[in-house]
Amino acid sequence: MTCHYVISVLAEEQDKALVKSLLAAFGDRGDNKWTYQDTPTNTDVVIVDFESHAQKLPLPDAKAGHVVVAYTSKMSTNSPTPFMLPKPLRGRDFVKLLERLEDVLKADDEDEFAKTHRRIVF
């Protein structure tokens, strides 16, 4: 059974274009299909440039339970989200992120791992 996931990005236009390009290259992952959406409404994952867009959190119209990914050049050990994507964005890091997200998004709601990684809902 194919799982469909949707990502949106709160960042500068060049970063959005890069994510769209990476999704075009790596978004079809066999049983998992990733697509891009311009707005965070009803998305599974929101990538947020924490250096220029963190002030937009919390997202008033975001889907409950979505996963927030911090996109930043300042990798912090006390990040508000367990998912981080380093700047500059590289394909290898993006694919690793998709793999981790798939694990969490597929996990049963009773799974402690899933609950821990979905605990931050902005």
Helix 13-26 × helix 91-106 angle, to 10°: 70
Q: What tens digit of pLDDT does each residue of 32-51 get?
A: 999 999 988 889 999 999 88
Element (H, E) at 91: helix 91-106
> Please, which pLDDT band fits residue 119 given cuts at 50, 70 and 90?
very low
- Give the homologous superfamily in CATH for domain 3-117: Response regulator (3.40.50.2300)
Element (H, E) at 70: strand 67-72
Higher pLDDT, 68 or 53: 68
Highest mean pLDDT among 24-28, 76-80, 112-116: 24-28
What's the pTM value of the predicted model, to 2 decimals? 0.82
pLDDT score of 56 more than 90: no
